[in-house]
Amino acid sequence: MSKNIKDIPQVLIAEIEKLSNLGYGIAKIDGYVVFIEGGCPGDKAKIKINKKNKNFANAKIEEILTPSPHRIKPVCPMYNVCGACQLQHIDYEYQLKLKKEVVEDSIRNLCGADIEIREVIPSPQIMAYRHKIQYPVSETKDSKRLIAGYFKTASHEIVNIKYCPMQPEICDKIIEYIRENASKYGISGYYEKKHSGDLKHVVIRSSKYNEKNLVILVLNSNKVLKKAENLARSIYEHFEEVSGVGINLNPAKTNLILGDSTQIIEGKEYIEERLCGKDFKIGAKTFFQVNPSSAENIFNYVKNYISSNFKSPTILDAYAGIAAFGICTSDIAQKVVSVEEVTESIQLAQSLIQENKINNIELYNLSMEKFAEEKCNTKFDVTILDPPRKGCTEKSLDFVLKLTKEKIIYVSCNPATLARDLKYLITKGGKVEYIQPFDMFPHTYHIENVAIISLK
């Protein structure tokens, strides 16, 4: 091992061995780990190191000398500049293998090597699967031409995306219409450095079920501008595929895309989606999986596991959101209790339960901690845990253990926090039966997991 990372030359030849949890190729040079943007395991490449730290370095590929047998030509012409899809240069079957390895590394580093990690269940769609689009908007300095797209990797520089193969084609058409027509209504693009300009983001919620779209214009304003209303009406009139157009107000200098206030200018305030034979309504701020086909796979998997192991169980649906798991499992359960602390989500869940004519779900607008302390004096056969990316607190896991008789089904979008929480559950007597990964985001490093934990 080199005595000092400074001894490593800036340009060198490297063989990429594996993939990191953030989608970088990994090579080892004199014992140091080098993370290589755009690398594929099996590549031999000339790389240029651009940042060195005490124990690792970051690098970019200057030339592929011997390509990996799994390296392919990306389908997107903007791949090299857009930071949204990190793995498009790797064939899809190998992506699944690499994602399984990422899960294995995360879980086994913390929980030991005896946990079964099953083969990744692929996404039913690997193109045009992304049904939620959030484009930052700006404008060119001289011509004042509107640009909208995704940020370059590790920057706030917008790549002007006119075609994205990962989203429905209609979304490209809507964005292009806004680009071409915003200036006709006097609407400027947002200039982040000066916090000036009108249009900060365009958000589209697109339905796989009926191919309708909800379009939200996010303004750098504390009031609805008449010129933005006119553009919204123009979008609604131009596209029969658009079921509603709204304006969201977000004058704050923040990384949050949507502000608190949304006003629908034309049409409906939601799109409709249908999963597991149940109807869902998705609004501007509704949390709902962006890949409906893969989400339905997960909902059905959880439902089938429960029905195969229990007859008419009681189910606790924790971190419920709009109670999607509760709704999808209601017809195999004696009773479902869905707990969610976000008021808007619970309100929407209530309307969805009524519209689907479900009568065995109870809703609680509380945190898990408050629910366990104040409202619950019984135990459930099964708990479905679907927390945000940061995972659960130890206190909330303690409550889940207290409230669950037999099984915890933990649904996670972050292998690292899943591993941390599983380790804690194991120390409290839980046994991880297995982990089933699902590919929710093809061509990215993200991976969804369903962990089955037995308490007996």
Does the pTM surpass 0.95? The reply is no
Residue 212, helix vs strand vs coil: coil
Q: Is residue 299 within 8 Å of residue 386, measured between CB atoms?
A: no
> Please, which pLDDT band fits residue 4 given cuts at 50, 70 and 90?
low
Residue extent(s) of CATH 2.40.50.140 domains in the chain? 5-71
Q: Is residue 425 within 8 Å of residue 433, measured between CB atoms?
A: no
Assess whether 85 carries a catalytic annotation.
no
With a cut of 80, say whether residue 422 has pLDDT above it: yes
State the chain's maximal CA–CA distance in angstroms.
69
Residue extent(s) of CATH 2.40.50.1070 domains in the chain? 132-275
- Across the beta sheet with 199-206, the strand order is 158-160, 146-151, 132-139, 199-206, 213-219, 242-249, 261-267
pLDDT > 90 fraction of the chain, expressed in percent and rounded: 86
pLDDT confidence of residue 1:
45
With a cut of 90, say whether residue 311 has pLDDT above it: yes
Q: Which residues pair with 151 in a beta bridge?
A: 158
Residue extent(s) of CATH 3.40.50.150 domains in the chain? 97-125+291-454
Q: For the chain, what is the mean pLDDT?
A: 94
> Please, which pLDDT band fits residue 377 given cuts at 50, 70 and 90?
confident
For the ranges 49-58, 182-191, 245-254, the lowest mean pLDDT is seen at 49-58
Where is pLDDT greater, at 366 or 30?
366
Write the class of the CATH domain 5-71: mainly beta
> Please, which pLDDT band fits residue 142 given cuts at 50, 70 and 90?
confident
pLDDT confidence of residue 155:
84
CATH fold of the domain at 132-275 = OB fold (Dihydrolipoamide Acetyltransferase, E2P) (2.40.50)
With a cut of 80, say whether residue 7 has pLDDT above it: no
pLDDT confidence of residue 3:
53
CATH of domain 97-125+291-454: 3.40.50.150
